[in-house]
Amino acid sequence: EKIPLSLKVNGKKLKLKVEPRTTLLDLLRENLNLTGTKKGCDYGQCGACTVHVDGQRVNSCLSFAVMHEGQEITTIEGLAEGDKLHPMQEAFVKHDGFQCGYCTPGQIMSAVACVREGHAGSEGEIREYMSGNICRCGAYTNIVAAIQDVKS
């Protein structure tokens, strides 16, 4: 049986009915068509599904949508303001912080949280904070450079 759920996604208030077992990730991708958030492993190991919940980063594959009643979700689609990219998006472009791009939305959501939470003080700190976001292409050096650029 579906359960009523109210939440805010990228600034928009929504009232939905969802299956209790639907993950936040599937809700975003399948029900709301917000496919910027990626499904890599679907069990908390890769970070491709990273979004913000009330400003905190979360692996959306690991939480059920119904747990987020009343909360505010931000996805990669919600970062830019109109045509103006978020500074972290700009920095990823400038520093080539991606190759295939599959992990990029999750990397950027984590990177924004990294700076906001004050974990971008050194390369080591950044690498530690970002260690849950896997990049198979190995763009790590450029990702760190992008984060350091935004931080400075």
| CB proximity list for 47: less than 8 A, separation 6 or greater | 40, 59, 103, 106, 107, 110, 132, 133, 134
Neighbours of 16 (CB within 10 A): 17
Among 32, 46, 58, 115, binds ligand FES (CB under 6 A): 46
**What one-character DSSP code corresponds to residue 56?**
E
- Give φ, ψ of 50 to 5 degrees: -65, 130
Among 8, 39, 119, 151, binds ligand FES (CB under 6 A): 39
Span 55-94, contacts to ligand FES by CB under 6 A: 59, 61
- Of 18 and 61, the one with the shorter C-beta distance to ligand FES is 61
Q: Which residue's Cβ lies closest to ligand FES?
A: 61
**What one-character DSSP code corresponds to residue 152?**
-
CB of 104 to ligand FES, least distance (A): 14
CB 24 within 8 A of CB 65: yes
Among 28, 48, 76, 79, binds ligand FES (CB under 6 A): 48
Which region among 43-51, 71-79, 85-93, 142-150 touches ligand FES (by CB under 6 A)? 43-51
Residues at the contact surface with ligand FES, assessed by CB under 6 A: 39-42, 44-49, 59, 61
